[in-house]
Chains A and B, each alone.
Chain A
Amino acid sequence: MDTWIEETLPMVFLAVLDGTVTAFVLALIALGLSLVFGVMRIVNVSHGEFFMLGAVFSWFAYHWTADSVWGFVLALLIAPVIVGFIAVFSERFILRKVEYNPESTIVATIGILYIIQQLTLMGFGPEARPVEAPIYFRVSFPWFGYSGYKLLVAVMSGLCLCGIWLLLKRTKLGLYMRATQQDYEIATTFGVPTKKIYASVFALGGGLAALAGVLVVPIRQADHLMGLEPLLLSFIVVIIGGLGSIRGTIIAAFLIGISDGIISVFYEPTLAKMLATLFVVMILIIKPSGLFGENYQ
C-alpha cells in the first residue's frame, strides 16, 4: 500500500502539473476562438493554423537570430503581429464578402485553413523542426525535476489572460467590443466603428493563437499539421464552456487541460481526446448551450 502511494502520488502530481501547463496554453487558444465567436458570431476553423503559424514563425526567428533568447523575444513580438495582419487580411477580403453568414464563414475558413497549411508546407517543408527553449533550468521536486520553461509558459499565458481581461473591462476598445457583442446595430448607431471592431477582434483572436504557438514550440516541435489538435481541443473547450462565454472558456480549459494531463499520463493521449468528446456529449445532453453559455439559436 505504501509503495503504491509512493509510486502513484508523484505520477499524479506530474500529471496535474503537465495538465495545468496545457490548460493555460489551451485557455489562451480557446479564448481567441471564443472572443471571435462572442463578438462576431462566427466560428473560425482556421484558428489552429494561426497557432501553427506562430510556432513556425518562432522557428524562423530562432533560425535567423541563431540565439534562443533573442529568437524567442523576437518571435514573441513579431509572430502575433504578422498573424494579426494575416487575420485582418482574410477578414477584409473573405469574411466580409460572405457577410459573416455563420455557415458560409465556416466553409470559407476551411478554405483559409487549407491555403495557410499548404503554403506553410511549401515554404517550411514537411518535417517537424525543434526550437530551443530560451531558458533552461530544472525545478527540482522531491521525486523528479520539472522543466522550468514549462512553468514560464504557464506564467506568461496567465499574464496574457489577465491582459485580455483588463483590455475587455478597462479600455475603450474593450468597451466597444462588448457593445458590439451585445447588439451590433445599436452599437453602430451609437457611433461604435463596428467594422473596425470586427477586424480587430479577428486579429486579436489570431494573435492570441499565434502567441500560444510561440510559447508551445520549445516544448513540442513545429510542423505544418500541428494546428488541428489544438483546434479540436479548443472546440471542445468552447462548447463545454458555452460558446461566447469568456469565463466558461477559461474554466473549461482547466477542466479539459488537467483531465487530459491525468488521462494522458496514466493511459494514452488518444484515449484522453476520445473521452473529452464523450464529455462534450454528456454536457450537451444536460445543457445544450454549454455550462456558462447563453442560448444562441
Chain B
Amino acid sequence: MKRKSLIYSLFMKGGVILILFLIQFILPTYHHSSFSKIMILASYAIAYNFLLGYTGLMSLGHAMFFASGMYTMGLSILYLGFTPLEGLIFGTILTLTISIVFGLFALRTSGVSFLIVTLMFGQTLYLAILYYNEFTFGQDGFSITTYLGTLVIFGKEHLYSNPTIRYNFALIMLAVYLIITTIIILSPIGRILIAIRENEARTQLLGYNVFSYKLFALTFSGTLAGISGAMHALLFSYIGTTFAEIHHSISPLLWTLLGGAGTVIGPLLGTGVMYYLIDFISGITSNYLLVVGIILVLTIIWFPLGIMGTLRQRWIKWLP
C-alpha cells in the first residue's frame, strides 16, 4: 500500500511539474507572470499545509516567517551588499532561528490559545517593521531591483526579473518543496506527525516526544515559508508590509483549506483558484475581500475537506 501510494504520488507530482514546465511555452504573457506568482505563493501554501494538514496545528501567524525571510533578503542586499545567494542563506538561517524560538514559546499552548498566540506574534513583527520605519521604510516598502545585479547562466547575463528566469525559478522551488514534503511525510517522522494530528494524547502515550515532533514541524514549515518570502523578494524585487499583515497569514490558510488540507496538490490548486478568482473579481469591484470572506465561510460549512480532500473522499481514493 505504501509503495503503491508513493509511486502514484510521485507520478502525479511529476506530471504536475512537467505540465507546468511545458505550459510556459504556450502561455500568454499575462498568464505567464500570473503563474510565476501562483507558484511562489503556492510554495508558501505548501509550507503552511505541512503544519496544518499533516501535523494538525493551525497557525494564524505564518506571515511572520514569510516576512522575515523576505525582509532579511531585502535588507541584507540593501544595507550589507549581500549577493542574492548569500541573502537567501542568511534569510534561511534567520527564519530557522526565529521558528525555533517562536516554537519553544508558542507550543507551550495548544488548540485555541496556540492560534491566538501565533496571531499576536505575527502582528508584533508587523508592528516592529512599522516601528523601525527608518530602517525598513515602513508602510511604503522598498525595491531592490538596482542592487540585484545579474545572473549568469551559460555565459549569458540575465536579469532576475526576466519572465523566463522568474517562471523557472518559481517552478524549481515548487518542485523542490513538493518533493521534500512528500519524502518527509512518507518517512517515519511524517507518520508520527500524522499520528499527532489524529490523536495527540495517544501518540504521547506510545512514548513519542510529541513536543519535539511538533517543534520540528513548526520549524520546518516556518523555514520553508521564510524561503518562499526570500524568493518572492528576489523574483519580484519588492519588499513591503503587505506581506507581514494578518491578511497574508490568513491567505495560506484559505488556499490550503480551499484546495484541501492534508493533500499534496491541494495548496497549489487552492492558490491558483483563489488567485484567478480574486483577479477576476478585482476587475468588477475593489471589495474582493468580501468574496474571500464568503468563500471562507462556505468552504468551512460545506467543503471542510477542500477540493482535493472531497475528491479523495468521494471518488479517487488513492490521491496522495
**How far is A120 from B45 in the complex, measured between Cα atoms in Å?**
30
B297 touches A115 (CB 8 A): yes
A268 to B133, CA, bound (A): 13
Residues of A within 8 A of B105 (CB): 281, 284-285
Chain A: residues with Cβ within 8 Å of the partner, total of 45
A43 and B287 within 8 A (CB) = no
List chain A residues, Cβ under 8 A from B4.
none
Is the C-beta of B85 less than 8 angstroms from some C-beta in chain A?
Answer: no
Q: Indicate if the CB atoms of B108 and A284 lie closer than 8 Å.
A: yes
- A-contacting 9-mer, from B67-75, B118-126, B187-195: B118-126
Task: Determine the distance from Cα of A121 to Cα of B285 in the docked complex, in whole angstroms.
Answer: 12
Q: CB < 8 Å: which of A43, A98, A114 contacts B112?
A: A43
Mark out the residues of chain A between 100 and 152 whose CB falls within 8 Å of any chain B CB in the assembled complex.
102-104, 106-108, 110-115, 117-119, 121-122
B301/A97 in contact, CB under 8 A: yes
> 1/0 contact trace for A273-288 toward B, CB 8 Å?
1100110110011001
Bound-complex Cα distance A284 to B110 (A):
11
> Looking at the complex, which one of A121, A243, A274 makes contact with B131 (CB distance below 8 Å)?
A274
Contact A102/B120 with A111-B293, A111-B300, A115-B294 known, Cβ cut-off 8 Å: no
B250 at interface, CB cutoff 8 A: yes
Is the beta-carbon distance between A296 and B111 smaller than 8 angstroms?
yes
Q: Are B128 and A274 within 8 A (Cβ)?
A: yes
CA distance A280 to B116 in the complex (A): 11
A160 within 8 A of B: no
Partner of A274, one of B113, B127, B246, B292: B127
Name A90's closest neighbour in chain B (CB-CB). B297
Q: A-side interface residues toward B, CB under 8 Å?
A: 37, 41-43, 94, 97-98, 102-104, 106-108, 110-115, 117-119, 121-122, 228, 232, 235-236, 238-239, 243, 268, 270-271, 273-274, 277-278, 280-281, 284-285, 288, 296-297
Given contacts A107-B253, A111-B294, A117-B289, 20 further A-B contacts (CB under 8 A): A107-B257, A107-B296, A107-B299, A108-B297, A108-B300, A110-B293, A111-B293, A114-B293, A115-B290, A232-B119, A236-B120, A239-B116, A239-B117, A268-B131, A273-B124, A277-B123, A280-B120, A281-B105, A288-B109, A296-B112
